[in-house]
């Protein structure tokens, strides 16, 4: 399938550039994709950001070189893109649990992160109900947290954020200022290209006169691919996100528009097996 060839071309470029500085724009071009769409697809398919994957691969190769040669630690650090022995040692220790100077010690255990490959599995055992809808820009009010994709920290942070927001009454207070009954999860900031992003618990509003605890954000006009999730939170919607990126995008002629994504939660028992909510993904034709 064409999508697999494109992603494999990007992986080949990454692997052949371990000793060079390469930007996400060049990598995305190899996949004939926008930088944002490539990064979002990569993260959803692999569970790692592009930057995280490249760090792990470079530090794997660096460890192998330290073990198998007499090259100085400083030279290895510079070869794999680190500007100083200190920054290299910090990253090396985070992955391998030891200092680079200890890598040559007999019996030391090192981590290895093999090169990944992409595979597309066409399951066909469950329909994906969706519709394409064009909507004008609108304003949301809500409360935000910063989180990171690294090591899946975002899943833990966002789950905790929702639990705390129900417990401390934030969701109830928000419902008193929004213009409909739906509570939103807003994912934004990924277009900046790093591993951190902003997540808001929010709702659509028709007024800018809101309590100080909330912030306002404009959701740009977009064509939305709207998918229905059925099942208890947060598992059902997380599985739906995975299917959108692993199955739907590769099989269609669309890519992510690079603007905020929405989770749309109607009133109801979010722990029920038949709870229905939606995922809104802004899209453009390739």
Segment 21-72, tens digit of pLDDT: 899 999 999 999 999 999 999 998 888 899 999 999 999 999 999 999 999 9
Which of 214, 195, 197, 213 is CA-nearest to residue 205?
214
pLDDT: which is higher, 147 or 286: 147
**Model pLDDT, residue 123:** 53
CATH class for the domain made up of 130-285: alpha beta
Q: Confidence band (pLDDT; 50, 70, 90) for 1?
A: low
Structure confidence by residue, pLDDT tens digits, 107-118:
889 999 999 887
* C-alpha to C-alpha distance for 225 and 243, rounded to whole angstroms: 13
Which of 247, 251, 280 has the alpha carbon at shortest distance from 263?
Answer: 280
Domain boundaries, the chain: 2-102, 130-285
Q: Give the model confidence (pLDDT) of 152-189 as tens digits.
A: 899 999 999 999 999 999 999 998 888 888 999 999 98
Q: How far apart are CA 128 and CA 281, in angstroms?
A: 14
Please give the average per-residue pLDDT across 11-29, as a whole number.
Answer: 93
Give the residue, 193 or 85, on which the prediction is more confident: 85
The pLDDT of residue 120 is 59
Determine the Cα–Cα distance for residues 68 and 32; give it in Å rounded to an integer.
Answer: 37
Contact status, residue 147 vs residue 158, Cβ threshold 8 Å: yes
When pLDDT is cut at 50, 70 and 90, the band that residue 119 belongs to is low
Specify the CATH number for 2-102; select among 3.10.620.30, 1.10.10.60, 1.10.287.3510, 3.50.50.60. Answer: 1.10.10.60
CB 214 within 8 A of CB 245: no
| pLDDT number for residue 33 | 92
């Amino acid at each position: 399938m064409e999508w697999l060839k494109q992603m494999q071309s990007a992986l080949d470029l990454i692997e052949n550039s371990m000793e060079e500085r390469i930007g996400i724009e060049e990598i995305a071009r190899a996949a004939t994709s926008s930088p944002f769409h490539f990064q979002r697809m990569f993260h959803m398919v692999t569970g790692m950001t592009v930057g995280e994957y490249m760090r792990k691969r470079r530090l794997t190769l660096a460890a192998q070189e330290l073990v198998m040669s007499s090259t100085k630690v400083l030279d290895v650090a510079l070869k794999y893109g680190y500007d100083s022995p200190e920054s290299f040692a910090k990253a090396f220790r985070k992955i391998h649990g030891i200092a680079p100077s200890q890598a040559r010690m007999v019996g030391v255990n090192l981590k290895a992160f093999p090169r990944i490959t992409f595979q597309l599995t066409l399951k066909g055992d469950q329909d994906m109900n969706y519709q394409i809808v064009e909507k004008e820009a609108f304003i949301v009010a809500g409360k935000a947290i910063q989180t990171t994709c690294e090591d899946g920290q975002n899943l833990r942070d966002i789950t905790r954020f929702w639990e705390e927001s129900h417990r401390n009454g934030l969701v109830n207070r928000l419902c008193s200022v929004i213009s409909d009954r739906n509570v939103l999860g807003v994912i934004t900031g990924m277009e900046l290209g790093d591993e951190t992003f902003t997540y808001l618990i929010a709702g659509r509003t028709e007024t800018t006169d809101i309590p100080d605890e909330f912030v306002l954000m404009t959701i740009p006009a977009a064509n939305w691919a709207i998918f229905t999730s059925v099942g208890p939170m947060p598992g059902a919607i997380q599985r739906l996100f995975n299917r959108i990126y692993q199955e739907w995008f590769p099989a269609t002629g669309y890519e992510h528009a690079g603007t905020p994504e929405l989770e749309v939660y109607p009133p109801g028992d979010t722990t029920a097996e038949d709870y229905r909510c939606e995922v809104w993904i802004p899209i453009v034709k390739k």
